[in-house]
Amino acid sequence: MQSYRPEFLEIRRNSTAKEIIVSGTLKLMRNDECVLQRKFKQLFEADSSTTLIGLLEFSGSDRYDNDLYYDYASGDYYVNDPYYDYSSDNYSISGILTIPANVANKEYAKGDQIRSLQELSSDFELLLDPKETYFSDVNLKCGTDSFSAHKNILCARSPVFAAMFTTEMKETLENKVEISDVSSQVLKTMLTYIYTGKTGELSVQSAGELLFAANKYQLQDLKRVCGDYLKSCVSVENVLKTLVLGDLHDEDLKAYAIDFICNSCEEFEVLEKTVEWKNLREKTPSLAMDVLTGLVKSKDKKLRSYK
């Protein structure tokens, strides 16, 4: 019975966590003769451990000597002899296989690092537990509430606290800081972020209050978190409040709010009739002028684009 050469090459992998692409060049050898050479690029789908490279498929159309096919574009070729009995031949594969460097190791290392950071965050959160105050060296007083904290952590995270505790200020001498311009809940959330990098659930109201605290204590990443949250919640109904917050605490948020007004409030007359706009015009006329200037520039840009 006549035997035919192999139809495909199967590649296996151990890690199936991620989708990857393998590529390279292979040669199919029959004894000492190369009967096929082809470039390949194969996808390993996530959760898949095998992929197949066809050894009979060929896209070349140039034919030489009746049994040699060659593709100029890829350099692939194969020898075809339909009457040859392959049963007695030994085949071997040679070539180059390219795999994204250390994919499995990188994915594992990344996941391991995330787990380590999560554990670190949880461990630091224990330092805020009122029952675990053995090593705390400062109290933050807010109304009737008091929070035990650690100067070294506060200094590492906030330039304002660092300046406070590295000078002969009252707070340094008494190991007590009176905080009166934020609520107890905002202070608690800010401390949680300082220690753990987490804020818990936010609302437009709490994000705005937390943005004020983040700006005051120069917690730049917390400012970004609050600003991103407020951007995701902006609407025609609350954009002016967001604008005021940005004007006070975050220039990027202010610019975002003005762009939103210019691009989303097609009928400015609707916004102009709101109580928020009237208050804005009366209390901060310069900010109202920034909005109007932005609208004029936006309309002018649109008119030029139509020409």
Q: Give the residue-averaged pLDDT of 207-229.
A: 97
> Beta strands of 246-301 (E only): which ranges?
none
Closest alpha carbon to 288 in 274, 302, 306, 304: 274
The predicted pLDDT at position 99 comes to 53
Q: Does residue 111 register a pLDDT over 60?
A: yes
Q: Coil, helix or strand for 44?
A: strand
What's the mean pLDDT when you consider all of the chain?
80
Q: Does residue 208 register a pLDDT over 80?
A: yes
Q: Which H or E run contains 194? A: helix 184-196
Residue type, 280: L
The predicted pLDDT at position 307 comes to 59
Structure tokens at 56: 């009979």
pLDDT tens per residue across span 281-293? 999 999 999 999 9
In whole angstroms, what is the distance from residue 166 CA to residue 169 CA? Answer: 8
Q: Are 277 and 284 in contact (CB under 8 A)?
A: no
Residue 60 — pLDDT band, cuts 50, 70, 90?
Answer: very low
Q: Does residue 37 register a pLDDT over 80?
A: no
The predicted pLDDT at position 25 comes to 76
> For the whole model, what pTM was predicted?
0.63
